[in-house]
Amino acid sequence: MNHRSAAGPALPAALGCLVAFTLLAVEVAGHHGAPLLMDSALESWSVRHRPAMAVAVARGITSTGTGVIPYLLAALAGVVVGRGARQRVVSAVAALAFLGAVQLVRYGVMSALARPRPPMGDWAARASGWSFPSGHTTTSAATAGLLMAAVLLRAPRNKRVLATLIGCWAVLVGLSRVYLGVHWSTDVIGGWLFSVFWLSVGILLLVRFRPDIGRYGPRSRPPSAEPAEPAGPAHLSDRSPRI
């Protein structure tokens, strides 16, 4: 995948997610944080369907959406994309900066809306802070987007399978937050919309300022790296005079 091919849908994706997220945030603010849409129904269903094994699996999945793991994966995405030691370091730092910036903006939005979480008695995991948008969901989705882009740019084979598995991980992290009762479903939807918006903006900026990224596929190399054709008898014979 060339990142220029992703620039076409990136702009409408960014605008669509921005509009949808804004409308959802306005709805959350207008209801003073009260449950929306299917929030209460899904939260109630989750509370009623919690066998011990499912809760343990959900806790394991949800733990990968926060802390050091997403930042390690973001750095790995930068290393995979880079060509050469210097570019890998720069790409890893850029990926970490991107994830940190997304988190910073999310924290500002979350603090401004100050949406309460579901009732604490329904929690099956520890949680802190306000509810909208979901931090675990936003972090895992943004990280998954970086990894998916790196895989699609550089993986020599099975890239679509790997990208799909990475995307499924982010979806499961978001769903686990609802299942464990620490977020409303609209918190998770807001986190997905928020992340896709910033990932789309990131693609547009990448195409604008780093058009060299992704120009060469996993098995190709820049034209400057192509070995010069050796001069041999065949070349000499081509230049010899004809009799």
* Domain contains 110: yes
pLDDT at position 213 is 57
Letter for the amino acid at 13? A
Letter for the amino acid at 156? P
pLDDT at position 155 is 73
pTM for the model stands at: 0.83
Cβ contact 6:211 at 8 Å = no
* Domain contains 179: yes
pLDDT at position 195 is 97
* Domain contains 195: yes
* Domain membership of residue 201 as a residue range: 1-31+71-119+129-216
Q: Which of 237, 232, 62, 31 is nearest to 139 (CA)?
A: 62
What is the number of domains present in the chain? Answer: 1
pLDDT at position 210 is 62
Q: Which of 67, 72, 62 is nearest to 172 (CA)?
A: 62
Q: At what angle do helices 68-81 and 135-154 cross, to 10 degrees?
A: 20
What's the token pair of residue 25? Answer: 């945030």
Tell me, rounded to whole angstroms, the distance of Cα 234 from its chain centroid.
54
For the chain, which residues score pLDDT lower than 50?
2, 216, 219-226, 228, 234-237, 239-240, 242-243
pLDDT at position 218 is 53
pLDDT at position 59 is 97
pLDDT at position 219 is 45
